[in-house]
Structure 1
Amino acid sequence: MLNKKFWYVLLVLTLFAFLLAACNSESGEDPGAEEDPGTEEQEENNEQEEEEEETEQEGPVEGGSIVGAMDTAPAGVFNPIFYSEAYEANILDFTHEALVSQNNSLEFIPSLAHDWEINEDQTEITLFLEEGVKWHDGEDFTADDVVFTYKSIASPGYTEAGGIRTEYVTPLKGYEAFNAGETEEFEGVTAVDDYTVKFTFAEPNVNPLYYVGFPIIPEHVFADVAIADMPTHEATLNPGKVIGTGPFAFTDMVEREQYVLTRNEDYWKGKPYLEQITWKVVDQSVITSLLETGEIDFVADPNGVPAADYEMVAGYENVEMIEQTDFGYQLMGFKLNYRTKEDVESGAINPDNWEENPDVADQKVRQAIAYAIDRPGLVEGLLYGRGSVINAPIAQQFWAYTEDVPQYEHSTEEAEALLDEAGYVDTNDDGFRENPDGEEWVLELAYPTGNKIRERSAPVIQENLEAVGIKVNLQQPKEMSAYINDIMTKDTNNGVDLYLLGWSLGSGDPDPSGLWNIEAAYNISRWNNPESDELIFKALEAPDAFDQEFRKKTYQEWQELFATDLPAVLLYAQNKIYAFNKRLNGIEPLPYSMINDPHLWWVDDAQ
Structure 2
Amino acid sequence: MKFKRSWLILLSFVLMLGILAACSGGSDNTSTEGEKENEEKETGPQMGGTVVGAMDTAPSGSFNPIFYEEAYEANIIEFVYEGLVSQNNSLEFVPNLAKEWKYNEDHSEITFTLEENVKWHDGEPFTAHDVVFTYKTMSDPDYIEAGGVRASEYASRLLGYKEYSEGQTDEFQGVVAEDDHTVTFKFAEPNVIALSDASFSIIPEHIFKDIPVADIPAAPESREPGKVIGTGPFKFTEMVQGEQYVLEKNADYWQGEPYLDSVVWKVVDQAVILGLLENGEIDFVADPNGFQAADYEAVAAMQNVEIIEQPDFGYQIMGMMHNHRAAGDMTLDPSKWTVNENLKDPRVRQAIAYAIDRQAIIDGLLYGRGIVQNSPIATQFWAYDDQNPPAYEHDQDKANQLLDEAGYVDVDGDGFREDPNGEKWVLNLNYPLGNQIRERSAPIIEEFLEEVGINIDLRQPKEAAAYFEDLEKNSQDWDLYLVGWSLSSGDPSPEGLWGSKDFYNYSRWNNPEADKLLAEAVKPPEAFEQDYRKEIYSKWQVEFGEDLPALILYAANSLWAHNSRMKGIDVLPYQFHNNPHLWYVTE
Structure 2 Cα separation of the partners of residues 440 and 157 of structure 1: 45
Q: Which residue of 2 aligns with 1:565?
A: 547
CA contact (8 A) 1:327 1:505 kept: yes
Q: Which residue of 1 aligns with 2:458?
A: 474
Q: Does 1:371 align with 2:357?
A: no
Q: Does 1:136 align with 2:121?
A: yes
Q: Does 1:504 align with 2:486?
A: yes
Q: Which residue of 1 aligns with 2:24?
A: none
Unaligned runs of 5+ in 2: 1-31
Q: Which residue of 2 aligns with 1:526?
A: 508
| 1:478-514 deviations in Å (ceiling 9; x for gaps) | 33333323323x2452x43222111121111111112
Structure 2 Cα separation of the partners of residues 145 and 571 of structure 1: 41
CA drift at 1:184:
1.2
CA drift at 1:91:
1.6
Q: Which residue of 1 aligns with 2:269?
A: 283
Structure 2 Cα separation of the partners of residues 482 and 391 of structure 1: 29
Of 459, 462, 465 in structure 1, the residue corresponding to residue 446 of structure 2 is 462
CA drift at 1:179:
1.3
CA drift at 1:85:
2.0
Q: Does 1:295 align with 2:281?
A: yes
Alignment length, in residue pairs? 552
Of 208, 216, 220 in structure 2, the residue corresponding to residue 234 of structure 1 is 220
CA drift at 1:124:
0.8
Structure 1 residues 248 and 369, CA gap change in structure 2 (3 angstroms): same
CA contact (8 A) 1:394 1:510 kept: yes
CA drift at 1:382:
1.0
**Higher RCO (CA < 8 A, seq sep 6+):** 2
Structure 1 Cα separation of the partners of residues 496 and 87 of structure 2: 19
Structure 2 Cα separation of the partners of residues 241 and 314 of structure 1: 40
Structure 1 Cα separation of the partners of residues 62 and 428 of structure 2: 29
| 1:394-415 deviations in Å (ceiling 9; x for gaps) | 1111111112211111111111
Q: Which residue of 2 aligns with 1:145?
A: 130
Q: How does 1:86-97 map to 2 (within 5 A)?
A: 86-97=71-82
Q: Which residue of 1 aligns with 2:562?
A: 580
Structure 1 Cα separation of the partners of residues 53 and 218 of structure 2: 27
Structure 2 Cα separation of the partners of residues 187 and 51 of structure 1: 57
Structure 2 Cα separation of the partners of residues 299 and 506 of structure 1: 21
TM-score normalised over the length of structure 2: 0.90
Structure 2 Cα separation of the partners of residues 440 and 227 of structure 1: 49
CA drift at 1:53:
9.7
CA drift at 1:522:
1.6
Structure 2 Cα separation of the partners of residues 364 and 475 of structure 1: 24
Structure 1 residues 224 and 89, CA gap change in structure 2 (3 angstroms): same
Any idea what SS the aligned residue of 2:350 has? Answer: helix
Moved more, 276-285 or 403-412: 276-285
Structure 2 Cα separation of the partners of residues 368 and 77 of structure 1: 41
CA drift at 1:450:
2.3
Amino acid at match of 2:354: Y
Of 403, 424, 431 in structure 2, the residue corresponding to residue 419 of structure 1 is 403
Higher share of residues assigned helix: 1
Any idea what SS the aligned residue of 2:432 has? Answer: coil
Structure 1 Cα separation of the partners of residues 339 and 440 of structure 2: 30
CA drift at 1:243:
1.9
Q: Which residue of 1 aligns with 2:20?
A: none
CA contact (8 A) 1:72 1:480 kept: no
Of 588, 596, 602 in structure 1, the residue corresponding to residue 578 of structure 2 is 596
Structure 1 residues 79 and 355, CA gap change in structure 2 (3 angstroms): farther
Q: Which residue of 2 aligns with 1:115?
A: 100
Any idea what SS the aligned residue of 1:369 has? Answer: helix
Any idea what SS the aligned residue of 1:341 has? Answer: coil
Structure 2 Cα separation of the partners of residues 328 and 59 of structure 1: 36
Structure 1 residues 547 and 297, CA gap change in structure 2 (3 angstroms): same
Any idea what SS the aligned residue of 1:515 has? Answer: coil
Structure 2 Cα separation of the partners of residues 76 and 334 of structure 1: 31
| 1:254-301 deviations in Å (ceiling 9; x for gaps) | 333222222222221122121221222223233222211112111112
Q: Does 1:162 align with 2:147?
A: yes
Amino acid at match of 1:97: E
Q: Which residue of 2 aligns with 1:70?
A: 55
Q: Which residue of 1 aligns with 2:364?
A: 381
Structure 1 residues 253 and 338, CA gap change in structure 2 (3 angstroms): farther
CA drift at 1:547:
1.3
Amino acid at match of 2:372: V
Amino acid at match of 2:105: E
Q: Which residue of 2 aligns with 1:429?
A: 413
Amino acid at match of 1:476: Q
Unaligned runs of 5+ in 1: 1-46
TM-score normalised over the length of structure 1: 0.87
Q: Does 1:317 align with 2:303?
A: yes
CA drift at 1:161:
2.1
Moved more, 449-458 or 93-102: 449-458
Structure 1 residues 487 and 250, CA gap change in structure 2 (3 angstroms): farther
Any idea what SS the aligned residue of 2:57 has? Answer: coil
Structure 1 residues 55 and 170, CA gap change in structure 2 (3 angstroms): closer
Amino acid at match of 2:443: P
CA drift at 1:183:
1.3
Any idea what SS the aligned residue of 1:513 has? Answer: coil
CA drift at 1:196:
0.8
